[in-house]
Amino acid sequence: MVVRTVKWLAPVLAAAVAAGGFAVARATSRADAGPAAKGRPTARNVIFINGDGMAAAHREAARLFYAGFDGRLTMDSLPVSGQLTTSPRDPATAVTDSAAGASAWATGQRTYNGAISVDVAGRPLPTLGAQAKAAGKATGLVTTAQVTDASPAAFFANSTDRAAQDDIARQYLDVSRPDVILGGGEDWWLPAGRPGAYPDQPAADPEEGSRGTKGDLIARARANGYQYVSTAAQLTAARRGKLLGLFANEEMFQQHPEGQGDVYDPPVSLATMTRTALATLSTERNGFLLFVEEEAVDEFAHNNNGRRTLQAMGELEKAVTVARDYAAAHPDTLLIVTGDHETGGLAVEDTATTDESGDGVSAEDGPFPIRGSTLRFNLDWTTESHTGQSVPITASGPLADRFTGQHPNTYVHEVLAPVLTR
């Protein structure tokens, strides 16, 4: 049996928690309490948070590690909970990818894997991001992936192939026009051979480098009135208004197997980007849609990398806390936290059990400490791929009660469309 050790992880993440103001919810606040009631405000704002690849075991592992037996994560303290099924409409597989999963949210239709908000015949579908913008709402996206990656793209673009990230960036500028775009993926905004703030072929990943085919989209964004920022200091100094921030060549982390260059140290945290986006979007009197994503949960789970998956879950939790605090102060805000699919076939196991998955890539990770206890747990992986598990969804604010029970992932669109398109 191979069990990977993580002796250094607890103090590292404990320090990060202390420094970052990590908040673990142990009680539900009055502002978050219960389903919609008579006289309660209608939803004007929507904050939709995606823990890419996150399902029940990821949330439980993070709860044990960060909050302990008697604690609750902020994402799990939201007063309404349910489940979403995740299957796509793909002739080759019953298990979704992020493109089809997010397209179901954004359009209300299932589609094939790799599709960005097009139907199974490749025809473009209306997206919630573009529709919210047309209805006079502010819109924004925040992610630790490329800003043009599958999940945010599904809300703001149409493509038969998720790999066409340069054209997705072009659509952001020419078609859907999100007010705030923050994350990684500078490579797709610049033509090959024209590095920007982040150099081509960096030592951490020599395969990265500018690769766009649509010209200098950063220059076009500036011409369209966007401020462009590429560092934490520039983001802090940015004035209110349309904002494009690209903080890495590709993803804002290095998703390698454990001990082989795996790094989660974004130049700007997901929580900071979320806070900045909310400050900008909240100036729109007609309300807003903000999509927030922690991509690293999925990417590190693909590598069966337990220590980094937990670290990414911690950063996601900080962003959820920022959103929860905003929603508590703005009761016309619907806050939703879910995942597009499960990654890794993950289980939380006792340290005394035998590793049934063997000594290969799916060997157990651990042991990890349970906060406030002398007990520990292992993370047991069964695959490096996605699975067909349903995923938890938690919510607060107006219309949150609609998410009680189990629903298909297309149901998200059913609930949000009347809010965002009127």
Binding positions for Mg(2+): 52, 149, 151, 293
* 172: amino acid identity, one letter: Y
* 126: amino acid identity, one letter: P
Residue in 60, 88, 53, 162 with CA at minimum distance from that of residue 384: 53
Q: Please give the backbone phi and psi of residue 170, each rounded to the nearest 5 degrees, phi first.
A: -60, -40
Q: Are 63 and 350 in contact (CB under 8 A)?
A: no
Strands 386-387 and 80-85: unpaired
Q: Residue 393 is encoded by which pair of tokens?
A: 């969804």
CA-CA distance, 55 to 223, in Å (whole number)?
41
* 219: amino acid identity, one letter: A
CA-CA distance, 62 to 343, in Å (whole number)?
15
Strands 3-4 and 376-380: unpaired
Residue in 72, 96, 93, 99 with CA at minimum distance from that of residue 84: 96
Quick check: is 98 catalytic? yes
CA-CA distance, 92 to 104, in Å (whole number)?
18
Q: Which residues participate in the annotated binding site?
A: 52, 149, 151, 293, 298, 302, 340-341, 386
Query: Of 98, 159, 210, 269, which residue is the catalytic one?
Result: 98
Residue 390: CB partners within 8 Å, gap ≥ 6?
A: 55, 83, 84, 85, 86, 406
What does the CA dihedral 339, 340, 346, 350 come to, rounded to 10 degrees? 20
Q: How many C-alpha atoms does 139 have within 13 Å on its Cβ side?
A: 23
Instruction: Count CB-CB contacts under 10 A for residue 331.
Output: 15
Q: Tokens 């996601």: give the residue.
A: 316
Residue in 120, 111, 142, 113 with CA at minimum distance from that of residue 129: 142
Catalytic residue list: 98
